[in-house]
Amino acid sequence: MTAVLFVCLGNICRSPSAHAVFRALVASEGLEDKISIDSAGTAAWHTGNMADDRARSVGRLRGYDMDDLRARQVTVLDFDAFDYIIAMDQNNLQDLQALAPASYAGHLALMLDFSGKDSGEVPDPYYGDITDYEHVFELLEPAATGLLAHIRDSHNL
């Protein structure tokens, strides 16, 4: 089983959106028994909360369900459990690199590294409006497709 963790700051906007997009893609490919998926935040502010209403609304319109996802904070134990830990922006990646044990042999990367375009960041939509959430999904969908292609190639799935 290949395990993937998506990480943003509070785990209520970007990372649960990435989780939902990637989960739907994995399910459509019939790979649920080969790839496990979770999401977390580098901060604990929203622990236990559902994804932001705006993220869930835009996700629902695009065919993604996030209602079962609850925010949690990333821990050092995640480095034992996940082969891929995917950050939404450079600050999250730096926080993860600081937390990662020296022995971590998995893949730490930015989500947009898999988009097929130049690397970049998934912007935090929290203080924006609904169009900012739509933009997040527009960035996540091709990146999720690229990530799945990478995992399929790397793990012969």
Q: Is 124 considered catalytic here?
A: yes
Output the pLDDT for position 118. 63
Q: Which of 89, 95, 113, 124 is an active site residue?
A: 124
Q: Which of 8, 78, 89, 95 is an active site residue?
A: 8
Instruction: Give the C-alpha distances (Å, rounded to integers) separating 111 from 42, 48, 92, 103.
Output: 15, 24, 11, 22
Q: What is the pTM of this model?
A: 0.97
Output the pLDDT for position 117. 75
Output the pLDDT for position 15. 98
Radius of gyration of the chain (CA): 14
Tell me the residue length of the chain. Answer: 157
Residues 20-65 have pLDDT tens digits of: 999 999 999 999 999 999 999 999 999 999 999 999 999 999 999 9
Q: Which of 13, 14, 56, 72 is an active site residue?
A: 14
Q: What are phi and psi of 141, to 5 degrees?
A: -60, -50
Q: Is 8 considered catalytic here?
A: yes
Distance CA 44, CA 42 (A): 7
Domain extent for 112: 2-155
Residue 5 Ramachandran class (φ > 0 left, ψ -120 to 50 alpha, else beta): beta
**Number of domains composing the chain:** 1
pLDDT along the chain (157 residues), means of 10: 97 97 98 98 94 97 97 98 98 97 96 86 95 97 97 93
Residue 150 sits in a domain whose CATH number is 3.40.50.2300
Q: Is 13 considered catalytic here?
A: no
